[in-house]
Amino acid sequence: MSLTTLDNYFLPGSGSEVIELLQEYGERAMLVAGGSFVHGLAARDLLPGIDVFIDIQKLGLADVTVGSEGLQIGAMTRLAQLAKVPEVQDAPEWGAAKDALRYPPVQIMNTATVGGNIAAACPYFDLPTAFLAIGGNVLAQSNAGTREISLDDFFTGLFENSLGQDEFITELALSRPVPGSASAFIKLETNANDLAIVNAAVQITVESGICQSARVALGGGVNEIPLRSAAAEKLLKGQSLTDALLKEAGQAVQADISPMADHRASAEYRSAMARVLTERALHRAITRLN
Amino acid sequence: MKQLISLDINGEVHELAVAPQDSLLQVLREELGLIGTKKGCDTGGCGCCTVQIDGQAVYSCMTYAMSVQDKPVVTIEGIANNGKLDPLQQAFIDAGAVQCGYCTCGTIMAARELLASVPDPDEDQIRHAIAGNLCRCTGYQKIVDAIKLAATNSA
Ligand SMILES: Cc1cc2nc3c(=O)[nH]c(=O)nc-3n(C[C@H](O)[C@H](O)[C@H](O)COP(=O)(O)OP(=O)(O)OC[C@H]3O[C@@H](n4cnc5c(N)ncnc54)[C@H](O)[C@@H]3O)c2cc1C
Ligand code: FES
Ligand code: FES
C-alpha cells in the first residue's frame, strides 16, 4: 500500500513527452522505471510533495549491445535481461557485472531496471559499485539534448545524482577495457533479500605479470556515495600482484572511506569488511585472468 | 483521481477504476477478490504476493496497477487447467510442502517461472529461484522436494 497519494500516473510514449512532463510538473513529478525503489519510498511516506509519477516503460530503451567500444545498456533493461547476455556471463572484463547480478531475488531481477539501480544513487545498491570499477558513462537526455556523464561524476550525495530537473537516463555505456583485463564484485549481506552491508568491485589489467592499471570501487554504506579508492589503485599499479600486496590494498581502502553506522552494521565493522572484500575481489579478478 | 484501465488477469480482461498509486496486489485482492495472492510485508522481499507478468515472477505489492495495463497477469487462481490442479499445486500437496500456507501461493508462482525455462532443475537452481520467497514454517526442504516432484511429474 502506498502512503503517497497521487494525482496522476503518466505513461508517455517518447523522450520529448517525458521532458515536457518533467518540465510541467517539476518538483511534483517522479520518474518510475521498474518502480521497485520508488514503491519502497511511497510505502514509507518518503515522497513529500510528489503527486505525479512518470512511468517510462513505453520508451523502449531496453536493448543491450556489445561492441568493440564496450557494453551499451538501455536504461530500461531489466537486471534479469542483462544477466542473460552471453558476454556478461562469460567475458572476464564484465565479471563485476555478472557477480553483482547474482544477488537480487528473481522477482527483483525481473522488475528492477539498470537505469533505476544507477539513478537511485542509493549507497546500498550493487550495480553502481560494479560499474564504477569497470568504468563508463551515463547517457542522459534533456531539453538541451543528449550528454555523457562519467560514472565517476554521477553520484553527488545520498540519493542524489548529477541529473538536471528535466533530464533522464537513456543508456549506460560501460567501456571495454584493454585485453588482459578482468573484473570482479563481492557483496556482504545479512540474507538473500537484503541490501549490501558492504560491497567491493575491482578491475585489473595485467601484462607480463605486472599490474598496468587497477580500479577499486566500494559501496554499501562505506560512504554516502559509492566511491573509488585512489590509495588502493595507486598501490597496485606497476606492481606484481602478490598475496601480500593484495592484503595491503585491502588495508589501503580503509583510508579512503568514511563508513556509515546503521541498523545493518557499525562503521568499524564496515571498515573491516571493506578491507576483506577488496582483497577477496582482487583474488577473484586474478583468477579470471588465468 | 481514479483512472479507468483494463487489466488482463488469468486470461480475462477487467475494466476497472484504480487510483494512480494502487498496487497490483491491492487491486487483485480488494477489487477482484483474488485473495490467493497474499499480502505479507507489502514492501518487496517476503514473496507471498508473487504473480507472473508476461511469464515472469514479480512482487505484485510493488507493481503499480497502472504499469501492467494489457500485460498478461497470472495469479494462483489461474494456473489450474480445466479443474485439474497445476503439477506444482499437486506436488505441494503430495510432498507435504504446505504448513500454514501463507507463503505457498507466492512460492508456487516463483517456481512456475523456473520450471517453464528449466524443466529439470537441480537443487541449487530451485533454491535460487525461491530465494525471494520466505517461509516461516517448513524449513524449505519439503518445498524443494515438491518442486522436484512437480518437475518429475511434468516430464
Ligand atoms: C527485496 C529487494 C531486494 C533487493 N536486492 C538488491 C540487490 O541485491 N542488489 C541491488 O543492487 N539492489 C537490490 N534491490 C534494489 C533494486 O535493485 C532497486 O530498487 C532497483 O534497481 C531500482 O530500479 P527500478 O527500475 O525499480 O527503479 P525505480 O524504483 O523505478 O526508480 C529508482 C529511482 O531512479 C529514478 N529513475 C529510474 N529510471 C530513471 C531514468 N532512466 N532516468 C532518471 N531517473 C530514473 C526514479 O525516479 C527513482 O528515483 C533490492 C530491492 C528489493 C525490494
Ligand atoms: S507482500 Fe510483496 S514481497 Fe512481501
Ligand atoms: S507454510 Fe507457513 S510460511 Fe510457508
Q: B132 vs A6: CB contact, 8 Å cut-off?
A: no
Domains A61-175 and A181-289 share a fold: no
* Interface contact A57, partner B, CB < 8 A: yes
Per-residue pLDDT of A16-62, as tens digits, reads: 999 999 999 999 999 999 999 999 999 888 999 999 999 999 999 99
Contact B4, B17 (CB under 8 A): yes
Q: Tell me how crowded residue B19 is: count the other CB atoms within 10 A of its CB.
A: 17
Contact B27, B3 (CB under 8 A): no
Per-residue pLDDT of B42-60, as tens digits, reads: 999 899 999 999 999 999 9
CA distance to A28, A52, A165, per residue, from A49 (Å): 6, 9, 15
Scored b (16 or more CB within 10 A) or e, A79-89 reads bbbbbebeebe
The CATH number that domain A3-58 falls under is: 3.30.43
* pLDDT at res. A3: 77
Q: How far is the CA of A37 from the centre of ligand 1 (A)?
A: 5
- CATH C-level class of A61-175: alpha beta
CA distance to A97, A104, A121, A185, A218, per residue, from A73 (Å): 12, 19, 18, 19, 22
C-alpha cell of A256?
579512503
Per-residue pLDDT of A81-122, as tens digits, reads: 999 999 999 999 999 999 999 999 999 999 999 999 999 999
Q: A2 vs B23: CB contact, 8 Å cut-off?
A: yes
Per-residue pLDDT of A219-273, as tens digits, reads: 999 999 999 999 999 999 999 999 999 999 999 999 999 999 999 999 999 999 9
Phi-psi region for residue A224, left (φ > 0), alpha (ψ -120 to 50) or beta?
A: alpha
Separation of alpha carbons B72 and B62, rounded Å: 17
In A18-165, where do the E strands start and end? 29-32, 52-55, 64-66, 70-74, 136-142, 145-150, 155-157, 160-161
Which CATH number among 3.40.190.10, 3.40.50.970, 3.30.390.50, 2.40.128.50 corresponds to the domain A181-289?
A: 3.30.390.50
* pLDDT at res. B70: 82
What value does the mean pLDDT take over residues A170-183? 96
Q: Where are the domains of chain A?
A: 3-58, 61-175, 181-289
Answer whether residue B30 shows pLDDT above 80.
yes
- pLDDT confidence bin for B29, thresholds 50/70/90: very high
ipTM of the complex: 0.96
R_g over Cα of chain A: 19
Which residues between 100 and 129 in chain A have a beta carbon less than 8 angstroms from any beta carbon of chain B? 105-108, 110-111
Total-model pTM: 0.96
Contact B44, A39 (CB under 8 A): yes
Could you tell me what percent of chain A has a pLDDT over 70? 100
Which residues of chain A are within 8 Å of residue B57 when distances are taken between CB atoms? 106-107, 110
- Secondary structure class of B111 (helix, strand, coil): helix
Quote the distance between the C-alpha of residue A182 and its chain's center: 17
Which residues of chain B are within 8 Å of residue A35 when distances are taken between CB atoms? 62-64, 67
Which residues of chain A are within 8 Å of residue B27 when distances are taken between CB atoms? none
Go through the domains of chain B in sequence order and give each one's CATH number: 3-78 (3.10.20.30), 87-154 (1.10.150.120)
The secondary structure of A114-146, three-state, reads HHHHHHCCCCCCCHHHHHHHHCEEEEEEECCEE
